[in-house]
Chain A
Amino acid sequence: MALSTTVKVHPVVLFQIVDAYERRNADAHRVIGTLLGTVDKGVVDVTNCFCVPHKEYEDQVEAELNYAMDLYDLNRRVNTQEAIVGWWATGNEVTSHSSVIHEYYARECNNPIHLTLDTTLQGTRMGIRAYVNVPIGVPGGKSGCMFTPVNVEITCYEPEVVGVQLCQKTVTLSKKTVEPMLDLAQVAEASQKLTSLLDSVLAYVEDVLAGRTQPDNAVGRALLDMVNSVPKMTPEEFENMFNSNIKDLLMVITLSQLVKTQLQLNEKLTLLTTL
């Protein structure tokens, strides 16, 4: 039954769904598409997706399944490990049309996942929900199926986290554009974030000492781990390590600048020679 299935979604998938929704035809309220990824022991890892054109009428649904197969083939050429794991739709709820589409996908893969992204922003949030289809009914009577919600988590590859963090800056800026940042600026920002985290930890400790908050054992143990993990060095050891590292880095900088100057000279000299 796989009710303990967890769905792990990569940010790319969400970006793609939002983009497909923004580009939908004027008469469509909903957009659907296929989810691609891998399944491993009850955990479904959704890494990619694409949009499939479809039309919904009162009592029937038309989706271009050839298109879906074609695009899936094209994608397989690039990435042979991604398989169809389910389908997605925008909107708030699971409609009756969904079960029809879900049946189709059940033919394509084993136990498909249905993911909804609420782009209509009901309840002022964009809800991300996933469902699995579960047959219900009494034995001997009519049986039907029900969409049961399962847990959704966001997971990222390392570089994806960096990408998302950069894109997140557009949320707060007023001109809605952001440039990839220079190194030093990012280091400065990371240190600022660390400082604010340290401040909140300090505030918590102060509160506990003054008796304003209940001490929590787990937090206390984590704090002890953290304090113990700072390497203990005598001042001389630190001086040594610091100086030798600085010397190494300065030497490398000098060498690379020297190389650059030599390149320039080399270029000018070869061009100057007239024969």
Chain B
Amino acid sequence: MASGRGSTRRLPENDSSIAYVQMDGLAVMKMVKHSHEESTGNMEVAQGALLGLVVENCLEITNCFPFPKPNDESMDEEEYQLAMMRRLRRVNVDHFHVGWYQSADVGNFLSLPLLESQYHYQTSIEESVVVIYDTQKTARGFLTVKAYRLTPQAIQMYKDNEFTPEALRNLKIGYESLFLEVPIVIKNSHLTNIMLSELADMIPEEDGSKFLDLGTASVLEGQLRCLMDRVDELNQEAIKFNRYQQQVIRQQQDKHRFLQKRSQENAARQAKDEPPLPEEDLNKLFRPIPVPQRLNPMIVSGQINTYSQHISQFCSQSLAKLYITQALQTAKEGKAAP
């Protein structure tokens, strides 16, 4: 890994062919620390930049640094990034900006600002990814980092900036084909492995066994509540769309009636040998109703999808734990009986 670092040039790939993302333990730990500190502080998302290199079809992430909070006026974000990268270059850290990371609650990350940022990143840097780190799941004991890229269709859609149903149908895009998940592997150098074996002696044993916990109610409650909120939102969007459809139908009926009346009048006038009424522009009389944008419902559907997946996973895992307990109980009863 060390030999390829300085000499690999990034070739522009038009076929965004990143097969997997390889992260250094250091980048993972820094992300964890930053997200944890943000979440205990003020419940905002933690964001930062990812630095690394592209090697063939793998995106290597070797370091990362956090972004300051957006309401900090004293320094522009661009300036901060440039200053940081210049300094890191002095100590031979890879300074290619290959993506960004964000922490999320329950892995729920799909939102308009995120789409926009990833779109800008991907158009300027071909291979960039956004890494989402799930705070809640990691707190329960499962380290969850996922890397996502926008699909080419999503990029096309964003470029056109048209979110009507026809445009979406042409591009064959749905809430499931917005993002493409890229598998992540974690790699550590040999020296880091040595350090980890030292650490293993020093960390107390009991930490990190929380995922055998049987209590499911609190987590489920929170997740279900978020799910209900989103479903409500989607419902509103659906109502809007239905209302639009009804309006269009009514408008068409009105147009039809007007045309009929027109032709009747014209026929009557012809019978009386009078010139027919001039053709009027229908569009001026019946202004076309704007189609509601489908972007928001699509995002909300994507969020609901993520929530449902997480809930199913969580429930299946809790079922497994409950069955383990049952097995233990039957063993205990079997022993106690005779």
Chain A residues within CB distance 8 Å of chain B: 10-12, 14-16, 18-25, 47-48, 51-53, 64, 67, 70-71, 74, 77-79, 117, 119, 121, 125-126, 128, 153-154, 156-168, 170-171, 176-181, 183-184, 186-187, 190-191, 193-194, 235, 238, 242, 245-246, 248-250, 252-253, 256-257, 259-260, 263, 266-267, 270-271, 273, 275
Of A159, A170, A177, A242, which contacts B325 at CB under 8 A? A242
| Size class of the contact patch on chain B | 35 or more
Given A74-B87, A184-B316, A270-B241; A161-B207 close (CB under 8 Å): yes
24 contacts between A and B (CB under 8 A): A12-B29, A14-B199, A16-B30, A18-B189, A19-B26, A67-B90, A74-B80, A74-B87, A78-B66, A78-B68, A117-B195, A157-B33, A157-B36, A159-B32, A160-B32, A160-B36, A164-B196, A177-B187, A181-B143, A249-B322, A256-B308, A260-B305, A270-B294, A273-B245
For the complex with contacts A184-B320, A266-B301, 18 further pairs of A-B residues with Cβ separation under 8 Å are A18-B191, A19-B62, A52-B91, A77-B80, A78-B69, A126-B194, A159-B35, A164-B203, A167-B192, A170-B193, A171-B188, A171-B197, A193-B209, A242-B322, A249-B315, A256-B311, A256-B312, A260-B309
Which residues of the partner chain A approach B187 to less than 8 Å between Cβ atoms?
170, 176-178
Closest 4 CB pairs of A and B: A256-B308, A77-B68, A23-B92, A161-B208
Of B80, B203, B220, which contacts A156 at CB under 8 A? B203
A9 shortest CB reach to chain B, Å = 9
Chain B 3-37 per-residue mask, 1 if CB under 8 angstroms from chain A, else 0: 00000000000000000001011101110111111
Is B169's CB within 8 Å of the partner chain A?
yes
Which residues of the partner chain A approach B69 to less than 8 Å between Cβ atoms?
78
Is B168's CB within 8 Å of the partner chain A?
yes
A159 touches B203 (CB 8 A): no
B29 touches A167 (CB 8 A): yes
Q: In the assembly, what is the distance between CA of A89 and CA of B216, in Å?
A: 46
B25 touches A159 (CB 8 A): no
B141 touches A186 (CB 8 A): yes
Is B179's CB within 8 Å of the partner chain A?
no
B320 touches A170 (CB 8 A): no
A176 touches B33 (CB 8 A): no
A273 touches B165 (CB 8 A): yes
Of A170, A180, A252, which contacts B311 at CB under 8 A? A252
B202 touches A153 (CB 8 A): yes
B68 touches A161 (CB 8 A): no
